[in-house]
Amino acid sequence: MLKHILLGFLSYGSMTGYELKSIMDESTMHFWHAHHSQIYTALRSLEDDGLVISEIEDGDDTLKRRVYTLTESGRADLRRWLDTCMVERSAIKEELLVRVFFSGERNKQDVIDELRLQRQLHQQQLEHYQALEKVPFHGVPPEEMERLAHHGPFWTATLRFGIAYERSYLGWLDDTIQMLEQLTGP
Amino acid sequence: MLKHILLGFLSYGSMTGYELKSIMDESTMHFWHAHHSQIYTALRSLEDDGLVISEIEDGDDTLKRRVYTLTESGRADLRRWLDTCMVERSAIKEELLVRVFFSGERNKQDVIDELRLQRQLHQQQLEHYQALEKVPFHGVPPEEMERLAHHGPFWTATLRFGIAYERSYLGWLDDTIQMLEQLTGP
DNA sequence: TGGGACATGTAAACCGTTACATGATTGA
DNA sequence: TCAATCATGTAACGGTTTACATGTCCCA
């Protein structure tokens, strides 16, 4: 998955590992994230497979930025991946739900407090998405905007997913907090 | 995470790896899943750490069922884990969103077809949850129901999450399909 | 001159998936 | 006797996280 994300971003233009990490933190963060260590090793592995090539940016200064460029083989691999439709749902892994599931023996107020904290976090996340929605092409340099304009609707769609998800999450948290408050016993 | 799920189920009563896999497939499946291979190795590792003990069920027949039982140490570990509140949101990893994000160069109809297939899958999943909701304590043997009754509201809460999630997912898919249909160009 | 952003990596540990592998029990 | 279900495991591989490790550039 990460490899295809990297190929996807490199299809927009050549970039360093650091830039890929930054752009992911600004855009795919809410549906796929990766640590910088993972990105650097994935890029090396993509290079071993001939899907990208790298070169050190003009070596007149000591700061060595390794710029990665998509190869034809890499572009073909990306296209093949995109053209192969997903035929399953992607599975959810939500730690909070595991905790709620096993919370039958916990102190009721502790559970409520935990859900209220999560409520805050998800509220913040919702506000973050809503702010991003107002600034289309956040993180895209102005000179690239025109060339990438036709990606806009797709980027916006993923953002709308995030907004719908957080709203639904907040609704569930509110319902569950209310249910717990009405529950008798500890 | 998986280890705490196993400890959680073993806190209800002693079980084999096979039973733990079955019970997970019926209950935590929609927010955490694991393969049997992972469960068997995790149980061995929990035993190495002294959190569970196992014994082969009365050896008069050749069928060897290894029954795991929570130790005091395991129970304490579970309690410690539950008493340590989560202080971050759990991150999402949704492959479909990655695909949508990079779908700007794809054939529009292919994307719509992919989303429609996902629509079917999520519709099925919603119906599955709605069926489960009507049968409280599905998968719990009748003689255990009373003892586990106070877990009911928590189990139901996770199911309600699943229902809200799938409804929200379906709404997003419909919106996104509609957006794509109105989009000009290939 | 110190801190923060920029920039890149390695190593170990851990988690998760897929494939391989075996064998018993039960009911049709 | 055949298939489904019960039952348990190992091995290889790949993905992910955490910690360790280093050094530059630029601004205050």
| Residue B142 pLDDT greater than 80, yes or no | no
Is residue A75 within 8 A of residue B103, CB to CB? The reply is no
Torsion angle defined by CA atoms of residues B7, B9, B13 and B15, in that order, rounded to the nearest 10 degrees: -90
Percentages of chain A per state (helix, strand, coil), in multiples of 5:
65, 5, 30
Confidence of residue A116 (pLDDT cuts 50, 70, 90): very high
More confident residue, A139 or B30: B30
Lowest mean pLDDT among A147-161, A163-177, B96-110, B126-140: B126-140
Any residues with CB less than 8 A from the CB of A171 and at least 6 apart, and which?
A: B164
Distance between B63 CA and the closest CA of chain A, angstroms? 31
B89 CB below 7 A from strand D atoms: no
DSSP calls for A85-101: ---SPPPP--HHHHHHH
| Residue B70 pLDDT greater than 70, yes or no | yes
Confidence of residue A64 (pLDDT cuts 50, 70, 90): confident
End-to-end CA distance of chain A: 44
Lowest mean pLDDT among A166-170, B40-44, B139-143: B139-143
More confident residue, B63 or B8: B8
Which of A137, A138, A159 has its CA nearest to residue A146? A137
Asked if the Cβ–Cβ distance from A28 to B98 is below 8 Å, we say: yes
pLDDT digits (tens, 9 = 90+) for A118-163: 999 999 999 999 998 887 667 666 777 788 888 999 999 999 999 9
| Residue B59 pLDDT greater than 60, yes or no | no
Is residue B117 within 8 A of residue A87, CB to CB? The reply is yes
Q: What is the mean pLDDT of chain A?
A: 92
Model pLDDT, residue B57 = 79
Q: Enter the tokens of residue A58.
A: 């003009």
Model pLDDT, residue B99 = 97
Dihedral sign for Cα B20, B145, A100, B134, please. positive
Asked if the Cβ–Cβ distance from A93 to B160 is below 8 Å, we say: no
pTM of the model: 0.92
Q: Enter the tokens of residue B168.
A: 């929200």
More confident residue, B77 or B62: B77
More confident residue, A62 or B157: B157
DSSP category for residue A38: H
| Residue B41 pLDDT greater than 80, yes or no | yes
| Residue B92 pLDDT greater than 70, yes or no | yes
Q: Within the 110-169 window of chain B, which residues sit less than 8 Å (CB to CB) from chain A? A: 110, 113-114, 117-118, 121-122, 125, 148, 150-151, 153-155, 157-158, 160-161, 164-165, 167-168
Q: Alpha-carbon distance A137 to B73, whole Å? A: 53
A17 CB below 7 A from strand C atoms: yes
Q: What is the mean pLDDT of chain B?
A: 92
Confidence of residue B61 (pLDDT cuts 50, 70, 90): low
SS3 B90: coil
Is residue B163 within 8 A of residue B33, CB to CB? The reply is no
Model pLDDT, residue A59 = 57
pLDDT digits (tens, 9 = 90+) for A94-108: 999 999 999 999 999
Confidence of residue A58 (pLDDT cuts 50, 70, 90): low
